[in-house]
Chain A
Amino acid sequence: AQSVAQPEDQVNVAEGNPLTVKCTYSVSGNPYLFWYVQYPNRGLQFLLKYITGDNLVKGSYGFEAEFNKSQTSFHLKKPSALVSDSALYFCAVRAPSGGYQKVTFGIGTKLQVIP
């Protein structure tokens, strides 16, 4: 079975400071990892993904994420947070155990950027 853990329900960060939203996963085989963002009363929007290759992937709105196979982590980062980054963030995984068709999401982390 595949699973995703987002250990923090909420992350608070001051505007202009770097932010990190944590994600760890448990799968058999090589995973595909994704980050999505959800603004209030909206559907999820894709931010970035890791499929293969460079462990540091860059995505939309200045976000990036680092794939760490040994720690089975895929933390989302941004060098300088904006108030407009405040939203709910989801990590997701596709893996061979699900035929790469099942998508498992974490429970989400609420990011609050304080002006």
Chain B
Amino acid sequence: EAQVTQNPRYLITVTGKKLTVTCSQNMNHEYMSWYRQDPGLGLRQIYYSMNVEVTDKGDVPEGYKVSRKEKRNFPLILESPSPNQTSLYFCASSLLTGPTNTGELFFGEGSRLTVL
């Protein structure tokens, strides 16, 4: 089954304790991206990647890191989480259909993070 898998689905942590949210897709997609969803703000793009070792900032990258060492995996790293990073996080992937990317996104089920 084609899917995007995120772990953990739920996490409560404390300020400053490094954490990683993993994301894996089995569709051989080149493009992967992370979003956070907050009430009244919709989804905002954190980082995206167009292929292995190619990453770029989205609209709200501060406080986050990503890496793309393998095509299927795109982990989101919070080096020193703060309470304003409490949010619902989504990983998504799509085919990179060319220089202008027309592909629709396939989303994971989300990871709800609470930072105390």
Contact = CB atoms under 8 A, between A and B. Distances in A.
Contacts of B59: 102, 104
B101 to A, nearest CB: 5
Interface in B19-51: 31, 33, 35, 40-45, 48, 50
Given A100-B101, A101-B50, A90 B107 contact: no
Interface of A: 6, 32, 34, 36, 41-46, 49, 51, 90, 92, 94, 96, 100-108
Interface string B85-116: 00000101000000111101111111000000
30 contacts: A6-B42, A32-B101, A32-B102, A36-B105, A42-B109, A42-B110, A43-B4, A43-B108, A44-B43, A44-B90, A46-B105, A46-B106, A49-B102, A49-B104, A51-B102, A94-B101, A96-B100, A100-B99, A100-B100, A100-B101, A101-B31, A102-B48, A102-B58, A102-B59, A103-B33, A105-B35, A105-B43, A105-B44, A108-B42, A108-B43
Contact of B109 (A43, A101, A102): A43
Nearest to B56: A101
Nearest to B43: A105
Contacts of A49: 102, 104
Nearest to A59: B104
